[in-house]
Amino acid sequence: MSDMHLYGGMVSPFVLRPLLVARAKGHDLPVESFPGGIKSPEYLALSPMGKMPLLVQGDFALPESQPITDYLDAVLSGPAMIPADPQEAARVRLLVRLADVYFVPNLGGLFMGREKPEGVAPAKKALGEALGYMEHFRNAADSHAVGDSFTQADAALIPLFFFLEALGAADLLSPLPGLSAWWTKAKASALGSRALAEQGEAMKAMMAARAAAAQA
């Protein structure tokens, strides 16, 4: 762990995904800001995409949230965040995939709500559809995102669902009893409440910095 560095910012759901997996396995991996930033020549030499997160362990540099999550799940001690049962494992990976393919691309319409209010309604419609897909592939007996224990699916969804509340779209969960119940439990859990508080503070800091830059 001492030679492992996770670079990024706490507002990013893609940084929080591997972080939550590490914590669920019993490892409090710190999130670090890269010296010079993610567009610096030094960072780009490690990850030419210039995005976060980035995991560095010795000479090994690994970008992209899901590969980092899989790697941490494989190398860190603690419970596996993918179920042993093949069908349950497939459902975990499916929920993560549904989130990345159908949910994430439509968050931008909410973020740009002030500048482009006409984009909010289409974004909410698409997000509602994505949530419906997730609801469809969950089981009524699931106490977590999938099954009865924390998995990579919880780690992926918790920091994404943060934005439903932060951006005024939590009503999208109202017609989805399964996800609504999961979200109520997840955000009250020790892992969830801590991560959401950190994400909220990071978002406040980001917005304050943007406001200060706009006034400068």
Q: What is the pLDDT of residues 58-102, one digit of tens each?
A: 999 999 999 999 999 999 999 999 999 999 999 999 999 999 999
Are residue 61 and residue 125 in the same domain, yes or no?
no
In the predicted structure, residue 212 carries a pLDDT above the cut 90? no
What is the per-residue pLDDT for 117? 85
Are residue 100 and residue 169 in the same domain, yes or no?
yes
Containing domain of residue 65, as a range?
A: 4-75
Query: How many other C-beta atoms are found inside a 10 Å radius of the C-beta of residue 64?
Result: 17
- Measured between alpha carbons, how far is 148 from 130 in angstroms, rounded to an integer? 22
What is the per-residue pLDDT for 2? 66
Q: What is the pLDDT of residues 153-167, one digit of tens each?
A: 999 999 999 999 999
**Number of domain units in the chain:** 2
At 61, which CATH number? 3.40.30.10
Are residue 64 and residue 122 in the same domain, yes or no?
no
Are residue 190 and residue 90 in the same domain, yes or no?
yes
Q: Give mean pLDDT, residues 14-36.
A: 97
Number of residues written out for the chain: 216
